[in-house]
Amino acid sequence: MNSNFHPFLVLIFVLLHSFHLSAQADCILGVGVVKDSVLIGVFQLNSEQSEKLANFNAEIKYRNEILDNKLLNIRKRHPQSTVHELSNLAKEYNVVIDSMQLVQALVDKKLLTLFNQKQYTLYRNLCLEASRSPFNIVPTIYSDSTVVKKR
């Protein structure tokens, strides 16, 4: 395997272990978690895709900041003296954590919809190699800028 992909595979494993694992976990890109330069390099993003990645990065940080504040408020206002109270706290936390996972998937899918067929195939292959379920999207078809128009 090409050593350029190694950071991405490591990233997949790290991120997936930070989320609840199911039978076969979703294969997230990690927009907002992974350095943009890693995603740009691994998937050879063009300038338009890179610009949108920066916007998605800001979006996920904003959304997660709101959810982080919810977690903080839950912890501050929730009693934690008994097992029952701690169980209820965990349930409330899990609802917010699930929301964070949904936000991550939503933003990652936004980036994936910008991928061309070659980029998406690379993503699918990396996910399958890591035993993860890739998100199914329809890749964007970009017009070839090298085509010369007939006069």
Q: Is 147 part of any domain?
A: no
Q: Is 139 part of any domain?
A: no
Query: What is the CA 54 to chain-centroid distance, rounded?
Result: 13
| 46 has a pLDDT exceeding 60 | yes
C-beta atoms surrounding 140 within 10 Å: 14
The residue among 6 and 99 whose pLDDT is bigger is 99
Q: Is 108 part of any domain?
A: yes
Domain range for 39: 3-129
Task: Give the count of domains, the chain.
Answer: 1
pLDDT for 24 equals: 66
Distance, first Cα to last Cα, the chain: 45
Q: Is 59 part of any domain?
A: yes
The DSSP letter of residue 114 is T
Q: Is 112 part of any domain?
A: yes
**pLDDT, tens only, 66-112:** 999 999 998 888 887 888 888 888 888 899 999 999 999 999 999 99
Listed in sequence order, the residues at least 6 apart from 107 whose beta carbon sits closer than 8 Å to its beta carbon are 31, 32, 56, 59, 60, 63
Distance CA 35, CA 39 (A): 7
Q: Is 148 part of any domain?
A: no
